[in-house]
A and B are shown apart, each in its own frame.
Chain A
Amino acid sequence: MTKKTTSIEQLEKLTDALVEDILKLSDKEVLLEAKEQFSDPSEKCNHIRDAMHKTILHASKNKFSEAKSQLHSYKKEDKRNNVISFSHKKSVIENFTSKNFNLKQKLTLAARKGEGIQTENDIDGMFEDLLELGMIDEEGNPK
């Protein structure tokens, strides 16, 4: 009859048996036992219910911040998906410079000196400037 069990498993079996006894109690017996244990069982119930409500509040706060962080990630992802290609940015800038003789001359001069719009970062920077100045929209269309 002896089964292969560890001390922990034996204690688990004992705990299960003791809980099984509590489950077998009638509501009346539960209330009677509570009266023996607590001076005011109703006050104890209020305490248990309050603690449960605090847990609900805690869970809803967690859920809210989780939703907030998901929204943040979604927006970030969405922004990443809408990134304008480097070549498009370049063509938007070229379109601007070709229409403005002074600007074109300045840029040509700067390029000869090894300055001006040379790298991808320069293109990005100038695109951002045009955007901030309100000369183009987020897709690079002239306003």
Chain B
Amino acid sequence: MHVGFTEETDEFLSPLDIKSTINTLSEADLLRLNSIAQQYSSYCSMDSDEILNEAILKALIGSRKCPINVSFIAFIYQTMRSIAFNEKRKNEKFEPIDNTTSPLQGKSALPEDKTSAHQELESILNLFENDDDITLYLMGIYDGCTPNEICELGDWNKTKYSSIQRKLRRSLNKHYPNGREK
């Protein structure tokens, strides 16, 4: 297939570079991108194919430029992240900043409780109420802790942290096969 792109720059991948990079992606690369797209799709109302191809389109038309020193996978996942997060924020009408409550502090009558994001956080927590490790991990994430801080909280090493993180992801995928937004 001939594509009439001719633009080239020294700092960013040209559309032609992007096209040839796509052709060289391995099965593992494609499936990894698909898996990441599914994760973002779970988070917002877009389909995984839609998110992935929107990211590719942005790269091709130049609204997001891929620096030549950045891996294409990393660039595409960052672009998908931005697409999904923007989509979610666009759909979440009212979300005041409030540090007096958190989903971990019980129910409150603040307007924040009415947002779907807050309900989503609570549903996820409730799902793992019998799993102390995952609950602690989620508490750490919700509180904005770094991985090191979460490890300190749970007295975990990096391997334990990674296995809890993986268990959480796989459980969520199984529990919400069509995404948490759908």
Knowing A11-B121, A22-B169, the reply to whether A49 touches B22 (Cβ < 8 A) is yes
Knowing A8-B92, A19-B39, A56-B60, the reply to whether A2 touches B31 (Cβ < 8 A) is no
Interface hits, A42-87 → B, CB 8 Å: 42, 44-45, 48-49, 51-60, 62-64
The winner among B30, B33, B52, B118 for most chain A CB atoms within 10 A is B30
Knowing A17-B165, A22-B39, A33-B35, the reply to whether A55 touches B56 (Cβ < 8 A) is yes
* B28 contact set on A, CB distance < 8 A: 27-28, 30-31
| Residue B70 is within 8 A (CB to CB) of chain A in the complex | no
State whether A19 touches B142 (Cβ < 8 A). Answer: no
Q: Give the complex CA separation of A63 and B165 in angstroms.
A: 42
| Residue A105 is within 8 A (CB to CB) of chain B in the complex | no
> Residue on B with the closest CB to A57?
B1
| Residue B115 is within 8 A (CB to CB) of chain A in the complex | yes
| Residue A34 is within 8 A (CB to CB) of chain B in the complex | yes
| Residue B109 is within 8 A (CB to CB) of chain A in the complex | no
Interface hits, A3-35 → B, CB 8 Å: 3-25, 27-28, 30-31, 33-34
> Residue on B with the closest CB to A25?
B32
Interface size on A, residues (CB 8 A): 50
| Residue A1 is within 8 A (CB to CB) of chain B in the complex | yes
Interface size on B, residues (CB 8 A): 63
Consensus secondary structure, chain A interface? helix
State whether A48 touches B52 (Cβ < 8 A). Answer: yes
State whether B53 touches A44 (Cβ < 8 A). Answer: no
Q: How far is the CB of B27 from chain A (nearest CB, A)?
A: 5
Knowing A55-B57, A57-B3, the reply to whether A8 touches B117 (Cβ < 8 A) is yes
* B36 contact set on A, CB distance < 8 A: 19, 22-23
The winner among A16, A18, A57 for most chain B CB atoms within 10 A is A18
| Residue B138 is within 8 A (CB to CB) of chain A in the complex | yes
| Residue A140 is within 8 A (CB to CB) of chain B in the complex | no
State whether B141 touches A64 (Cβ < 8 A). Answer: no
Chain A residues packing against B (C-beta within 8 Å): 1-25, 27-28, 30-31, 33-34, 41-42, 44-45, 48-49, 51-60, 62-64
